[in-house]
Every structure is written in structure tokens, then in C-alpha cells.
């Protein structure tokens, strides 16, 4: 009899252990590879009846979302999902839900994910749209992005005990992969230091931010003793951000002596990817159009005594991003002999 | 018996082998099915509040245990956890042969239910962590939502990132999203609006597809949280003396209207800290305090008592004084609080000092954080004798003809007390009981102020 018991127990234990080995929820978590699970003590498998409903995202007019969106250009997107149906779903993972009924309205969230930075942005809320609609304006250029929508709606179903009920959530989410084209030129400036003298810097700031329709505009800030702007920056407003940003001599001038040595450093960058190979700076003759360099290009130190400075001299910064957007900014140079 | 034992042992072993074979066959069959399966657009997720002593029972404060909301209290730190097969190391459970390309993108959303039953976003935090913590700073019904997404590649369907319409016909790449005047694309890059190859895959930088061949898979889950109010309501009490020739009923209504407007616009805080702004009426303010005093944990809660005007000292000198007062638990089990201001000789609030033969009126209002201090309510208040009997108005105002202060000079005169009580819907209480002193100073009716 004892043997029978041992054998029976052995069989149960063996059977049980085999079932356990197939249960993945007990698998150890490697926090080095999944650091986002740090401290999480929860199974990934729902134990209550919580249906996941398909969700498709379209444009407002019913067409598919373009695979390439353009930075700062809003689109109206629509989510198609059964979460707005009058009847709550009756199945969750092929299990029947007893007497399902909605218990609250739907909570909706839209995001734009920049996968290159693994960062998301809330879609702008626009009044007057239906619950399943949203205006999405991608403000960050990216080669890998996605428009995603997440919805949840509280529902209730009958509990096994008579007269009692259980609450769970119907969930519906989906995404459309897109890329976002950069249409903003770089925002580069220069930091200039006169040897044994004054220093200063200037830089453009896109203003208003995320402006659309084109053209983009910017304010150019000048700060430092070189510009007589120690306590407060000088701001030249409303320049068209592009390849012909010209500061007039009556606005700001870089005043230096003919014997000065200038140390120049590029500051700023692009909202996506600056094409470093195309960044150029130096002294040029006149402003506008293609810069006509005078003296060396991209030299960190400029010895003015070795350069023949023209009467209409400018310091320029010419930059382009990898998409091809270009910015050329000219600042008057007044060399006192 | 031994034979039977041996037989059973063999049966058990064979049964176990059979189960293993069966399981393997099922696994193989599943693999076959999975191999043909596409990467799903979304997967399941779980979400729970981490058990904590401040996660209240389902029937907390008499609530329906089947309500399905987690009972919590305001101003206490809570931790939430969520999980999904999307967050695992291996994507095999998402689809056979699938691979995760990068880390998941995780966002925690907190929404609050508005008066119309709709959920409005309070915060949306992109933490990229499956655990999250924080406090609910105001009572109400919340919905915590977790939205997760991850790029999944390597399986069938993972390259489904084209612009094609749902019916499979080519889409309009660029479509309405093109920009006139955008800088033409640089070498190897598409111009504004993008371009699409014949097979539908997008050409991006360096000739790669837009999403690198991966597909964004999403998951989300929600949890309802009912956050209970553990903060006592704010209370304003105003006293106003009247000149002899004015209609005190009108004055009383004007005073109430002024309080209604100011208590909401100032979120329960005193509308001024300058004594000269309280010439018309004197105020007692009991509120949750300045910004750094608000939203303290229930066991650290305080309130701020402020008295302003000329009626809180015997000499009628204008003043604005303020101090922190204690908030005490009212009911440990229900987690309700009470602020009680007991005025008197030893208190910061000595009492209210009115002049004999000068009519005065008073009113009290309260706002509560339970409704974001948006709905002022009139508060029960009265003057009573030491034994609790209410003192009635003398016509349209209160007026006392015989002084009772200083007490040592008027021992035979009755003591009077001003009492008020504000109770919020959750049972949190603010009460004031302070002496009402009638001082023997001749009236200056023409001014209407006790200068």
C-alpha cells in the first residue's frame, strides 16, 4: 500500500513538474536586458477577462496615413475600433464574458513616438473633434516614428456569485509607422573671441516654434561684450530662416581692429541631423546669395592682419542638415584700421 | 500488491511520457501555426496597484465592493506596476520568429473623470519604465492608463509599414502631408512628402525602410482609482459691523456675495495679507495653507489660521495675523480629519470683539478640495451662550446692549461664543468655537467701522 502511495505521489509530482516547466510566467527576468521591469512584480498575463480589441488608424478622409509625414504639418487621424460600439465585447482571448456591459466612457490617448530617441509626444488636443479623432502634429523629424492610439473603457460582467459583478477594462490600441521629414533649417550661430579682447556670440532661435506654413522664421540673438550686450541680449526679430539671413549694419555690427585675432566656434545645431561636412564659416564679401569667402574657411583662428578685408565684409555661418535644409546667416563685420 | 505497485509505476511513467510527447506535439503544432501567424498589432497587458497599507478595502467608507475601483487616499504615494509580453526579453510570445528592435516606449497616463463622466488627462509621463509611482493630489475618480509600444521585427507582417490602403491598394505617400516650398531632399533622401517604392516599402536615409523593417506593436491597460478626500474643508468667517443708517439685510447679502466670489477665486486662501484690505469686514480664514503646506500626507496635515481686520482684539486695532494649526484624525478607520480652532485667552484667536449697541452681521462659507474648491457652500454658524443656546438676531442684525468684556468686570454677564462647522462630503470637518466679547466702547455709527 505504501508503495502505491509513493508511486501515485511520484506520478502526480512528475506530471505537475512538467506542467510547471511549460508555464512561462515564472521565467526569471534579466534586468540587464529588460531594465524597464525593475521592481515589477506582476505577471504579463491577465487573469480576469480583459478584452483587447483591434484598432486601425486612418486619416480623416478614410485614406491611409502617409508613410512620410512632414514636420509641423498637422494631420487629423481617426481610430476605428469596437470600443465605441453600443455593446461591450463578449469574448476575451476566446473566453466567453458573462453578461458584459459598459461601465464608463472611453479614455483615449494619442501619441507620436520618435523611435530614434524612444520618446513620445502627446498629440495636441483639439476641441470639436469626435472622441475617436485627434490632430497629430509631429514636431520632431525622425526616420523611425509611429502614430499610436491607446483606448480603454471600463466594463462589467457577472461574477460567479449571484448578484455580484466584476469590473475589467476593454483595451484597444494600435500604431502606424511613419517617418517625419525635417523641414526646419539648422539653427547655427558663432561664438567669437577676440584675442586679449572682447567676446560674444550670436545664434538664431526658431520663432514662432514649429511654424507652418512655410517659411520658417527666426529671431537672432546677440550676447556678450563684442556686441555691447552684456546684461541684455540684442534681438533681431523676424528673419526668414533659410539661406539668406542678413543682419543689417544698423542692427548689429561686429566691431574689431585690423590687427585682431579672432577665435571662432560654431554653436547651435539642427533639430534633426546636422550635416557636419556642409558647415562653413568665415569672412565673406557682401551678404546674400552664395557667400564669397575672404580668407580661410572653417579656420578656428583668424588673424585679420593677414586677410584683406573688403569694405562690405560679413562674418557668415553656412549650415545644412542631412535633409538638405540650409541656413546662411550674415553678420556685418566692421574692421577699424 | 508489489505487482500492482509496479504496474502503477509503469503507468505513471508512461503517462508522464505521454504528456510530454503530447505537450511537445502541441508545441510543435503551435509553432507551425505561429510560423504562419503575423505579428499582431496589439497584445494584452496587465496593470495593478502595488499592495500597500493605504490601498483601502473594496468597501472603504461604505462603498460598493463591486464598484471595481481601487480605493486610495489623496496625498499618499502609490506605486503601480504593469507588464506585457511586449516588455519581455524575447519576442517569441508576440510572434514566432519575431525580434524586438529596441526598448519599449512606455507612457503612464492619469486621467480624471469630469462632471460629464468623461476622462480628462491630468498627466502623461513617458517614463519607459513598467513601474511608476506618485501621489493623487486631489480627490476624485481617476483612470490610470498605461500605453506601451515596441518595435517588433523579424516575423511575417513586421514589414507592414507601407502607405497602402487597408484593401491593399497603393496609398498616397505624402498625400495631404506634403509641403510646398520645402527644401528638396538631399542625396539619398526623399523630398517632402516622401517617396514610395514599387513594393510599398519606404526608402529613407541610407536606403533603409522607414521603420527598419520593424512594426510598432502596442498594448495598453487601465485601472480605476477612487481617491478619497482626507483634507478638512477651508472655512471663511466674516464679521461686519453696520452704521446706524444702513440696511443690514442688504449688507449681509453683499457680504455673502463677496465671500462667494473671493473664496473661489482665491482657492480658499486669504484674499489679502494686508490689514488695510479688511476695513469693511473682519475675517477668520482656516485653510490648507500656502503652496508648500498643501497636499501633505494625512499624518502630516496642518492648516493655517489667519485673522484679519479690526474685530479680533479689544482695542479694534487693524491686523493680519496667521499661524499654522494642527489637523487631527477624526476617524482612524475612515481616515477623516478635523481641524478645530478653539479661540480663547490662551489661543492665537482670542475671540471676536464687537462693540455694544453696534449692530453686526456675520457669515461663513467653505470650499473643499473634494471639488477643487469650485463650489462654495454656506456654513452653519451661530452665536450661542455657554450652555449652547442660540442667540437670535435683534431685528436684521445682531446687537448687544450690555458689555461682557473684560470678563473680570462683567462676571455677571453671560459668556457668548461664536461657533461654526463645515463638513465635506467625505466627513472631514473644520470647526471654530471662539468667545464673542462685547466691549464697552462708544459707537461711531457714522464710520461704520470700529476705529
Q: Is residue A17 part of a domain?
A: no
Q: Within this chain, do residues A157 and A278 fall inside the same structural domain, yes or no? A: no
**Are A150 and A250 found together in one domain?**
no
In a domain, A4, yes or no: no
Same domain, A75 and A156: yes
Q: Let me know if residue A253 belongs to a domain.
A: yes
Cross-chain residue pair B104–A36, CB shorter than 8 Å: yes
Blockwise average pLDDT, block size 10, chain B, 451 residues: 55 48 44 59 95 92 93 96 96 94 96 90 95 94 96 72 32 37 36 31 36 84 96 96 75 90 94 92 95 93 95 89 94 95 90 92 94 92 96 91 93 96 96 95 45 36
Mean local confidence (pLDDT), A131-148? 93
**pLDDT surpassing 90 at residue A17:** no
Mean pLDDT, rounded, for A73-92: 96
In a domain, A21, yes or no: no
Task: Give contacts of B107 with chain A, Cβ < 8 Å.
Answer: 109, 111, 120
What pLDDT score does A16 carry?
A: 38
Write the DSSP assignment of B297-320 as a string of letters. Answer: -GGG-EEEEEEEESTTSTT---EE
Q: Residue B151: its chain A contacts at CB < 8 A?
A: 115, 144
Instruction: Give B181: exposed, middle or buried? Use CB within 10 Å, 0-12, 13-18, 19+.
Output: exposed
Question: Per-residue pLDDT tens for A181-221?
Answer: 999 999 999 999 999 999 999 999 999 999 999 999 999 99
Task: Give chain A's mean pLDDT.
Answer: 91
| Residue A250: pLDDT over 70 | yes
- Domain range for A295 is 187-336
Number of domains in chain A: 2
Domains of chain B: 39-156+209-228 (2.60.40.10), 229-439 (no CATH)
Distance (Å) from the C-alpha of residue B333 to the closest C-alpha of chain A? 25
Q: What is the pLDDT of residue B242?
A: 84
Of A119, A171, A322, the CB nearest to B221: A171
Contact call for B130 and A4, based on CB within 8 A: no
Residues A60 and A177 in one domain: yes
C-alpha dist (Å) from residue B386 to A186, B248, B342, B419, B421: 78, 26, 14, 11, 17
pLDDT tens for each residue of A54-68: 999 999 999 999 999
Contacts of A8 in chain B (CB under 8 A): 8, 12
Closest-approach residue (CA) in chain A for B44: A52
Q: What pLDDT, on the 0 to 100 scale, is given for residue B38? A: 85
Domain boundary pick from A181, A206, A235: A181
Q: What is the pLDDT of residue B165?
A: 32
Classify the phi-psi angles of A72: left when phi > 0, otherwise alpha if psi is within -120 to 50, otherwise beta.
left
Q: List the 170-229 stretch of B: residues with Cβ below 8 A of A.
A: 171-186, 189-190, 192-196, 202, 204-205, 208, 210-212, 214-224
Shortest distance, CA A216 to any CA of chain B (angstroms): 10
CB A212 within 8 A of CB A72: yes
Q: What pLDDT is attached to residue B316?
A: 86
- Between B180 and A323, the more confident residue is A323
Angle between helices B2-36 and A2-22 in degrees, nearest 10: 10
pLDDT attached to residue B441: 73
Residues A175 and A286 in one domain: no
Question: Do A275 and A322 sit in the same domain of this protein?
Answer: yes
Q: C-alpha grid cell for residue B439?
A: 466691549
Q: What is the CATH number for A70? A: 2.60.40
Beta-strand relationship, A165-181 and A68-70: parallel
Domain membership of residue A155 (yes or no) is: yes
Complex ipTM value: 0.85
Percent of chain A topping pLDDT 70: 91
Residues A153, A212 within the same domain:
no
Note the pLDDT of residue B162. 30
A228 pLDDT above the threshold of 80 = yes
Same domain membership, residue A319 and residue A211: yes
Q: Say if residue A195 is in the same domain as residue A332.
A: yes
Q: Which of A181, A208, A230 is the last residue of a domain?
A: A181
Mutate to test the interface with A, among B82, B109, B125, B182 (most CBs of A within 10 A): B182
Same domain, A153 and A201: no
pLDDT computed for residue B154 by the predictor: 82
Residues of B in contact with A15 (CB under 8 A): 15-16, 19
- Both A216 and A147 in a single domain? no
In a domain, A321, yes or no: yes
Residue A195 lies in a domain: yes
Interface probe with A: pick from B29, B45, B78, B142, most Cβ of A within 10 Å? B45
* A148 and A219 belong to one structural domain: no
Q: Would residue A8 count as lying in a domain? A: no
Of the residues A121, A148, A181, which one is the last residue of a structural domain? A181
Which residue pairs, CB below 8 angstroms and at least 24 apart, start in B8-12?
B8/A4, B8/A7, B8/A8, B8/A11, B9/A7, B9/A10, B9/A11, B11/A11, B12/A7, B12/A8, B12/A10, B12/A11, B12/A14
Confidence at A12, pLDDT banded by 50, 70, 90: very low
pLDDT attached to residue A14: 42
Q: What is the pLDDT of residue B6?
A: 58
Amino acid at each position: 500500500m505504501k508503495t502505491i502511495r509513493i508511486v501515485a505521489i511520484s506520478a502526480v509530482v512528475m506530471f505537475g513538474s512538467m506542467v510547471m516547466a511549460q508555464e512561462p510566467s515564472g521565467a526569471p527576468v534579466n534586468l540587464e536586458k529588460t531594465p524597464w521591469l525593475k521592481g515589477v512584480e506582476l505577471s504579463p498575463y491577465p487573469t480576469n477577462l480583459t478584452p483587447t480589441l483591434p484598432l486601425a488608424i486612418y486619416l480623416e478622409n478614410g485614406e491611409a496615413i502617409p508613410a512620410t509625414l512632414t514636420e509641423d504639418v498637422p494631420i487629423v487621424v481617426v481610430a476605428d475600433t469596437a470600443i465605441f460600439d453600443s455593446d461591450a465585447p463578449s469574448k476575451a482571448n476566446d473566453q466567453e464574458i458573462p453578461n458584459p456591459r459598459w461601465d464608463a466612457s472611453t479614455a483615449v490617448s494619442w501619441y507620436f513616438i520618435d523611435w530614434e530617441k524612444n520618446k513620445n509626444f502627446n498629440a495636441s488636443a483639439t476641441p470639436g473633434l469626435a472622441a475617436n479623432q485627434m490632430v497629430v502634429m509631429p514636431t520632431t523629424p525622425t526616420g523611425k516614428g509611429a502614430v499610436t492610439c491607446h483606448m480603454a473603457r471600463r466594463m462589467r460582467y457577472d461574477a460567479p456569485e449571484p448578484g455580484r459583478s466584476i469590473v475589467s477594462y476593454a483595451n484597444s490600441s494600435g500604431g502606424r509607422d511613419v517617418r517625419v521629414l525635417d523641414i526646419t533649417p539648422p539653427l547655427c550661430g558663432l561664438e567669437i573671441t577676440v584675442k586679449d579682447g572682447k567676446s560674444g556670440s550670436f545664434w538664431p532661435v526658431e520663432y514662432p516654434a514649429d511654424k507652418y506654413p512655410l517659411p520658417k522664421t527666426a529671431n537672432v540673438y546677440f550676447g556678450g561684450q563684442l556686441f555691447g550686450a552684456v546684461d541684455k541680449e540684442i534681438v533681431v526679430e523676424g528673419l526668414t530662416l533659410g539661406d539668406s539671413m542678413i543682419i543689417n549694419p544698423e542692427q548689429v555690427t561686429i566691431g574689431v581692429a585690423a590687427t585682431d585675432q579672432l577665435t571662432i566656434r560654431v554653436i547651435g545645431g539642427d533639430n534633426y541631423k546636422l550635416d557636419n561636412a556642409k558647415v562653413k564659416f568665415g569672412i565673406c564679401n557682401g551678404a546674400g546669395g552664395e557667400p564669397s569667402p575672404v580668407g580661410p574657411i572653417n579656420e578656428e583662428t583668424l588673424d585679420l592682419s593677414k586677410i584683406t578685408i573688403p569694405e562690405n565684409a560679413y562674418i557668415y555661418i553656412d549650415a545644412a542638415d542631412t535633409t538638405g535644409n540650409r541656413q546662411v546667416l550674415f553678420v556685418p563685420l566692421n574692421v577699424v584700421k | 500488491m508489489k505487482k500492482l505497485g509496479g504496474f502503477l509505476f509503469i503507468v505513471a511513467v508512461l503517462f508522464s511520457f505521454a504528456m510530454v510527447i503530447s505537450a511537445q506535439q502541441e508545441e510543435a503544432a503551435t509553432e507551425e501555426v505561429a510560423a504562419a501567424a503575423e505579428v499582431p498589432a496589439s497584445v494584452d497587458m496587465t496593470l495593478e496597484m502595488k499592495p500597500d497599507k493605504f490601498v483601502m478595502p473594496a468597501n472603504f467608507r461604505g462603498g460598493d465592493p463591486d464598484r471595481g475601483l481601487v480605493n486610495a487616499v489623496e496625498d499618499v504615494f502609490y506605486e503601480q506596476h504593469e507588464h506585457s509580453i511586449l516588455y519581455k526579453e524575447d519576442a517569441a510570445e508576440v510572434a514566432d520568429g519575431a525580434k524586438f528592435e529596441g526598448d519599449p516606449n512606455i507612457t503612464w497616463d492619469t486621467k480624471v473623470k469630469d462632471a460629464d463622466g468623461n476622462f480628462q488627462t491630468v498627466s502623461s509621463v513617458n517614463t519607459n519604465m513598467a513601474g511608476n509611482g506618485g501621489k493623487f493630489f486631489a480627490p476624485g475618480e481617476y483612470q490610470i492608463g498605461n500605453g506601451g509600444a515596441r518595435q517588433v521585427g523579424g516575423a511575417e507582417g513586421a514589414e507592414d509599414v507601407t502607405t497602402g490602403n487597408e484593401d491593399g491598394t497603393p496609398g498616397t505617400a505624402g498625400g495631404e502631408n506634403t509641403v510646398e516650398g520645402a527644401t528638396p531632399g538631399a542625396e539619398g533622401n526623399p523630398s517632402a512628402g516622401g517617396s514610395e517604392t514599387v513594393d510599398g516599402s519606404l526608402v529613407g536615409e541610407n536606403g533603409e525602410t522607414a521603420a527598419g523593417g520593424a512594426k510598432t506593436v502596442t498594448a495598453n491597460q487601465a485601472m480605476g482609482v477612487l481617491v478619497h478626500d482626507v483634507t478638512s474643508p477651508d472655512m471663511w468667517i466674516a464679521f461686519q459691523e453696520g452704521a446706524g443708517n444702513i440696511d443690514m439685510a442688504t449688507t449681509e447679502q453683499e457680504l455673502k456675495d463677496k465671500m462667494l466670489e473671493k473664496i473661489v477665486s482665491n482657492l480658499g486662501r486669504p484674499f489679502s495679507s494686508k490689514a488695510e484690505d479688511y476695513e469693511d469686514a473682519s475675517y477668520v480664514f482656516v485653510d490648507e495653507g500656502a503652496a508648500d503646506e498643501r497636499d501633505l500626507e494625512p499624518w502630516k496635515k496642518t492648516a493655517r489660521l489667519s485673522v484679519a481686520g479690526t474685530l479680533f482684539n479689544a482695542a479694534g486695532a487693524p491686523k493680519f495675523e496667521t499661524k499654522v494649526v494642527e489637523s487631527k484624525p477624526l476617524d482612524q478607520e475612515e481616515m477623516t480629519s478635523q481641524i478645530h480652532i478653539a479661540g480663547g485667552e490662551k489661543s492665537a484667536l482670542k475671540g471676536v470683539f464687537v462693540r455694544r449697541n453696534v449692530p453686526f452681521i456675520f457669515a461663513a462659507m467653505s470650499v473643499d478640495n473634494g471639488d477643487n474648491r469650485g463650489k462654495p457652500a454656506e456654513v452653519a454658524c451661530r452665536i450661542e451662550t455657554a450652555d449652547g443656546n442660540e442667540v437670535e438676531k435683534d431685528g436684521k442684525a445682531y446687537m448687544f446692549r450690555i458689555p461682557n468684556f473684560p470678563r473680570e468686570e462683567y462676571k455677571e454677564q453671560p459668556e457668548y461664543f461664536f461657533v461654526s462647522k463645515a463638513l465635506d462630503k467625505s466627513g472631514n470637518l473644520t470647526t471654530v468655537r471662539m468667545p464673542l466679547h462685547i466691549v464697552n466702547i462708544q459707537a461711531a455709527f457714522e464710520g461704520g467701522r470700529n476705529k
